[in-house]
Amino acid sequence: MIIDFHTHCYPDKIAEKAVAGLSGTGGIRPYTNGTLAGLLDLERSQGVSAFIVNNIATDGRRMHNVNDFAISINSANVIAFGSVAPFEESSFEELERLRDNGIIGVKFHPYFQNFYVDDPRVIPLYEKIRELGLITLFHAGSDISFDDVERAEPKRLKEAALALGADKGSDVIFAHWGASMQSQKVLDELCGMPVYFDTAFGLGYITEAEAKAIINAHGADRILFGSDCPWSTPERELGFIRSLGLTDEEFAGITYKNAKALLGRHEVDIR
């Protein structure tokens, strides 16, 4: 079994435009056409049993439609996370709508949503997420489409995790090995915290030595496999993880057992 905790797809009518735009700004090519069907085909062909779709509401105007899509595709083995705009008053009600429609998590992308993860103005929204018992997944670290590297740097992520109640049992995930292209700061600031890291889009952006150091310092039981498909693939990212010389138990934990246990706590049973 493999569970991919970090993927993306878009409604059919905008998928082509969405992946073309992101490909252009990031200078990377997509491995699918951006649709759910394309994602399903690739993930299944590479042995993935279930995957999480990370949706992003770039602003309040798009938020409701983004979450309508998340709700429409959410199923037993396609687990969709919603998203809320950090500074919209209606985001509090939207979080309740997500929860009431079976969505168990939300994704924040501080660059595309234009906020700092530790901005005091977002704390009440974090408290609402904590109250509802939702999983929170952050894009963490730098982003290849942006020059700014501070919006989701580890010291800020640490404060956001505490505001969300990670130290009191809330489930918080930092994508891209804790913080993309900021591995030393991950080791200094985040390793050992009661949060998860996912492995999305690590190949080529983190060295084997850095990845091993993060696993050793943070614990393999707090690492979740993610590919960031369509911007990478499960096969590519699994190849990198296999190169790290993990034990069978560590590999199984990272590739599915940790995710299965986390999802199980939120009443999602992956078979």
pLDDT in tens, 91-148: 999 999 999 999 999 999 999 999 999 999 999 999 999 999 999 999 999 999 898 8
Rounded distance between C-alpha atoms, residue 5 and residue 222, angstroms: 13
Categorize the per-residue pLDDT at 261 as very low, low, confident or very high, splitting at 50, 70 and 90: very high
pLDDT tens figures, 220-244 = 999 999 999 999 999 999 999 999 9
Q: Mean pLDDT for the chain?
A: 97
Per-residue buried b or exposed e for 218-235, using 16+ beta carbons within 10 Å of the residue's own CB: bebebbbbbbbbbbbbbe
Domain ranges of the chain: 3-265
Residue 19 and residue 239 in contact, taking contact as beta carbons nearer than 8 Å:
no
Residue 204 and residue 232 in contact, taking contact as beta carbons nearer than 8 Å:
no
Q: How much is the pTM?
A: 0.97
Q: How many CA atoms lie within 13 A of 235 on its CB side?
A: 7
At 7 the pLDDT is: 98
pLDDT tens figures, 32-72 = 999 999 999 999 999 999 999 999 999 999 999 999 999 99
The answer for residues whose C-beta is within 8 angstroms of residue 151's C-beta and 6 or more apart is 110, 111, 115, 116, 117
Lookup: tokens for 95: 């979080």
Q: Where are the beta strands (DSSP E) in 55-155?
A: 78-81, 105-108, 135-138
At 66 the pLDDT is: 98
At 208 the pLDDT is: 98
Domain 3-265 has CATH 3.20.20.140: yes
Q: For the chain, how big is the Rg over CA atoms in Å? A: 17
Residue 37 and residue 68 in contact, taking contact as beta carbons nearer than 8 Å:
no
Per-residue buried b or exposed e for 75-88, using 16+ beta carbons within 10 Å of the residue's own CB: eeebbbbbbbbbeb
Rounded distance between C-alpha atoms, residue 156 and residue 150, angstroms: 8
